[in-house]
Structure 1
Amino acid sequence: MTTTVTRSSTDADPQDWPGIAFVPSGPHNRIAAALAEKIFVAAVNRLPMRVTYDDGTVHGGIPRRTEGSGVPEMRIHRPGDFFARLGDSGLIGLGESYMAKDWTAPDLTAVIEVFAQRAAHLVPVPLQKLRGLYLPKPPRRERNTTANTRSNISRHYDLSNELFALFLDNTMSYSSALFDGAGPDLLEARWEDFAPAQQRKIDRLLDQADVGPGSRVLEIGTGWGELALRAARRGAEVVTVTLSSEQKRLAEERIAEAGFTDRVRVELKDYRAVEGEFDAIVSVEMIEAVGYEYWGVYFQTIDRLLAPGGRVAIQAITMPHERMLATRRSYTWIHKYIFPGGFIPSVRAIEDITDRYTSLRVRERLSMGDHYAQTLRLWEERFLARLDEVEALGFDEIFQRMWLFYLCYCRAGFQAGYLDVQQLIFDRRP
């Protein structure tokens, strides 16, 4: 039996969006779709949410009498297409079916958060053990070898500087901010708080890495240049490396405008190819793009480049160690559409790898997952408010739904506690 495809009822361009324009079909898929429906219905009937169909069918662990009470609601409009995609590729199909409008949600983040809180228990354990037999596997072309990494990075970061500028603050920081407050106070974070919170995050990393006048600083992952600029303002000499030609171009423009071309050098280079000796090495949310097979190489490279007495400051998205082990060979919607080749480490994995392969040790770490949830909320609000401008840049409705799903998917992970973000400070063991 083989899986074939039929044309979706969406108006997706089949060349741009083959996974959306076509729906899996055929005898094999009918069996997979039926099984997916049974698993899905059994799961949602245990969850604090409601799933409604256009024909009036309702599933979920919330009694019908609570309708309108504000519980998360998922609305399935084309159940046949939805379960065909889910049966074919699991969570990739969940995201693709949202992009295709097979289902919608008044509060997308709330729906995904319910799933994220129970991610380890949605599928029966015997079927989880068989996931490698029926779910898609990571393509070899997306492994982060030195030959592939440039392409992987380009697919995301070279989309358009103008696109990122529409929803990022004026520091052009594409990572978690560190707001002035905690707990319920974070929920009050507003756009005017954003740029200072991004600078606070950067300054803390630079402080912990002892960056000051004359420091030789290596930044792995340039972004759009804000960290390099702030280090240069302290009197540091900075080398910053990126594999995104678009980021390099804009970062160099910003550095020139600020008058720091004599202190900051931006290089289009793989981190593995860097040579030299640095007093401080800083990397913000770049380890997630390394790939778990290369974490050892990543930290060995840092260890090789760090001067005696130097310090390392890394900001990293993390997940629980057990979930990391269970999913490290999975191919997900995020891989296919957002970050090819990426994988999120656990803190334990980072500590084990640095202990085994390097002279580095973790001296301090700060957990700030709640701050990332609010960072993503502000990005989402800004993105939704500027959809007309997104479309004017040439990004169609399917892209817009994809990007919204990405922002909400990530935010739900942090709100559920499935994801965290850490600032980790390293020095050398005595």
Structure 2
Amino acid sequence: MSYEQVDRSRLAQDGPRSGQPPLSARPLLAALSRIQTGQLDLRLADGSRRLLGERHPGPTAHLQLNRPLALTRRVLLRGALGLAEGYMAGDWEAEDLADTLHLLALNQPQLAGLAQGRLAARLTDRLRHLLNANSLTGSRRNIAFHYDLGNDFYRLWLDPTMTYSAAVFARPDEPLAEAQARKYQTMLDRLDARPGDHILEIGCGWGGFACHAARQGFHVTGITLSREQLAWARRRVREEGLEDRVSLELRDYRHLHQRFDHIVSIEMFEAVGEAYWPAYFDTLAHRLKPGGRAALQVITIDDARYHDYCRRPDFIQRYIFPGGMLPSVTAFDREAAAVGLETVSRDFYGHDYALTLRRWDQQVTARREAICELGYDERFLRMWRYYLAYCEAGFRLGRTNVMQLALARRGG
């Protein structure tokens, strides 16, 4: 039974003193009772209800515990990753998944012991992450893992521009396609480019930016490691009659030799991997013509959390983007400066990303049956929704952010 199917009249009758909880639920209840900020409305499998927290003002979240013993075992062994795996397995439900993860994250200091997991499991996850390094071969494998799920899958829940990155909204109710077009234009504006200039796009996706720029008179060379995306993007370019201005290739950024007037890279840096950051920035510095700029959109992690994040691979790295790594702003700036690149302009759009993710999740939910008809099962759908909600909660809290910036070589 999903949380949405709970009989609200019965829930109202079940007060917080409805008797002793099942033994299997007590370890989790003991941990969750430490919540101080906000309130967790917890529904147990036997129908009883607990209201936990609210020592300090904060959000309210609603969680239904279906299999407390299974979830307890997962969390004790795997920490926060076990919580995610428990959701994927159906051990628990949430009325609003992002709200629930937001509340739990706000109370992380009180739940820290529960979130750690056992050392052996953490070491195993760390080793698995290291084995997913983005070497030339590893990059192709890791990109295929995520982006070659199938164009039909992404088409069902992305907006018509097929843009898989944060939008820039003028207002909360703006159509997503319009907000995505605004994002593309802000990237172009950061370049201070002129029609006719040749732009390299590292990680061209389904061709949204390339076509947007070409329609304004720019020439674009786009590179990707995803065969699925490349096929879609090339067809799009042909259909829009932009073949004289757009060239798309299956190529690694480390195999570029030509120089370009400008470079654009939208949320590709996160897939590079820390060990290859120097190579990425070296590519930017050496592929730019004198006076050129590189406009990037990059997801970042809070500086205060960066060290812990580097040591403990998270749900995203385990299930969504193997080999991926977010930089802190400090780490990003340090790597850029090492090759003589300096920031010309920079803005942050974390709240816009939270809204983008909320829109995507609404579409995934609305197109659930169509997604299942493509062959994706319930576990995959729950994993994908957890991914979107996990990211939304992070952007809401400010633990992750997304920046748009322009880089130029120091001294021109």
TM value normalised by structure 2: 0.87
Q: Distance in 1 between matches of 2:347 and 2:73?
A: 42
Q: Paired residue for 1:154? A: 144
1:172-193 Cα offsets, whole Å, 9 max, x none, are 0001111114xxxx2xx25xx2
Task: Note the 1:305-384 alignment, pairs <5 A.
Answer: 305-355=287-337, 357-384=338-365
Q: Is 1:385 matched up with 2:366? A: yes
Give the direction of change, closer, same or farther, for the CA distance of 1:149–1:40 in structure 2 (3 Å limit). farther
Q: Paired residue for 2:265? A: 283
Q: Paired residue for 1:40? A: 31
Q: Is 1:235 matched up with 2:217? A: yes
| C-alpha deviation, 1:333, in angstroms | 1.7
Task: Note the 1:160-175 alignment, pairs <5 A.
Answer: 160-175=150-165
Give 3-state SS (helix, strand or coil) of 1:379's partner: helix
Q: 2:184 aligns with which of 186, 199, 202?
A: 202
Q: Paired residue for 2:99? A: 110
Q: Distance in 2 between matches of 1:343 and 1:212?
A: 33
| C-alpha deviation, 1:402, in angstroms | 1.1
Q: Paired residue for 1:26? A: none
Q: Distance in 2 between matches of 1:329 and 1:35?
A: 31
Q: Is the Cα contact below 8 Å between 2:302 and 2:398 reproduced in 1?
A: no
Tell me the matched-pair count: 383
| C-alpha deviation, 1:423, in angstroms | 0.3
Give 3-state SS (helix, strand or coil) of 1:398's partner: helix
Q: Is 1:74 matched up with 2:63? A: yes
Give 3-state SS (helix, strand or coil) of 2:71's partner: helix
Give the direction of change, closer, same or farther, for the CA distance of 1:217–1:119 in structure 2 (3 Å limit). farther
Give 3-state SS (helix, strand or coil) of 2:242's partner: coil
Q: Is the Cα contact below 8 Å between 1:316 and 1:422 reproduced in 2?
A: yes
Give 3-state SS (helix, strand or coil) of 2:137's partner: coil
Give the direction of change, closer, same or farther, for the CA distance of 1:362–1:34 in structure 2 (3 Å limit). farther
Give 3-state SS (helix, strand or coil) of 2:193's partner: coil
RMSD, matched Cα: 2.5
Q: Distance in 2 between matches of 1:381 and 1:413?
A: 18
Q: Is the Cα contact below 8 Å between 2:33 and 2:53 reproduced in 1?
A: no
One-letter code aligned to 1:49? L
Q: Distance in 2 between matches of 1:49 and 1:151?
A: 40
Q: Distance in 1 between matches of 2:335 and 2:92?
A: 41
Give 3-state SS (helix, strand or coil) of 1:374's partner: helix
Q: Paired residue for 1:7? A: none
Give the direction of change, closer, same or farther, for the CA distance of 1:364–1:101 in structure 2 (3 Å limit). same
Q: Distance in 2 between matches of 1:111 and 1:204?
A: 33
Give the direction of change, closer, same or farther, for the CA distance of 1:46–1:70 in structure 2 (3 Å limit). closer
1:370-411 Cα offsets, whole Å, 9 max, x none, are 111111111111111111110111111111111111111111
| C-alpha deviation, 1:48, in angstroms | 3.0
Q: 2:230 aligns with which of 212, 224, 248?
A: 248
Q: Is the Cα contact below 8 Å between 2:37 and 2:106 reproduced in 1?
A: no
Q: Is the Cα contact below 8 Å between 1:211 and 1:231 reproduced in 2?
A: no
Q: Distance in 1 between matches of 2:59 and 2:38?
A: 14
| C-alpha deviation, 1:342, in angstroms | 0.7
One-letter code aligned to 1:428? R
One-letter code aligned to 2:345? E
Q: Distance in 1 between matches of 2:110 and 2:286?
A: 42
Q: Paired residue for 1:50? A: 41
Give 3-state SS (helix, strand or coil) of 2:178's partner: helix
| C-alpha deviation, 1:319, in angstroms | 1.4
Give 3-state SS (helix, strand or coil) of 1:137's partner: helix
Q: Is the Cα contact below 8 Å between 2:295 and 2:406 reproduced in 1?
A: yes
Q: Distance in 2 between matches of 1:117 and 1:215?
A: 47
Aligned-residue identity in percent: 39
Question: Unmatched 5+ residue regions in structure 2?
Answer: 1-23
Task: Note the 1:393-412 alignment, pairs <5 A.
Answer: 393-412=374-393
Q: Is the Cα contact below 8 Å between 1:45 and 1:59 reproduced in 2?
A: no
Q: Distance in 1 between matches of 2:388 and 2:216?
A: 33
Q: Paired residue for 2:18? A: none
| C-alpha deviation, 1:133, in angstroms | 5.2
Q: Paired residue for 2:77? A: 88
Give 3-state SS (helix, strand or coil) of 2:136's partner: coil
| C-alpha deviation, 1:144, in angstroms | 1.0
One-letter code aligned to 1:176? A
| C-alpha deviation, 1:60, in angstroms | 2.3
One-letter code aligned to 2:298? A
Give 3-state SS (helix, strand or coil) of 2:261's partner: strand
Q: Paired residue for 1:179? A: 169
Stretch deviating more after TM superposition (40-49 or 226-235): 40-49
| C-alpha deviation, 1:83, in angstroms | 1.2
Q: Distance in 2 between matches of 1:120 and 1:299?
A: 36
Give 3-state SS (helix, strand or coil) of 1:378's partner: helix
1:146-178 Cα offsets, whole Å, 9 max, x none, are 121111010110001011111111110001111
Q: Paired residue for 1:101? A: 90
Q: Is 1:422 matched up with 2:411? A: no
Give the direction of change, closer, same or farther, for the CA distance of 1:70–1:361 in structure 2 (3 Å limit). closer
Q: Distance in 2 between matches of 1:256 and 1:196?
A: 23
Q: Is the Cα contact below 8 Å between 2:157 and 2:364 reproduced in 1?
A: yes
One-letter code aligned to 1:326? D
Give 3-state SS (helix, strand or coil) of 1:395's partner: coil
Q: Distance in 1 between matches of 2:402 and 2:225?
A: 23
Q: Distance in 1 between matches of 2:184 and 2:249?
A: 20
Give 3-state SS (helix, strand or coil) of 1:60's partner: strand
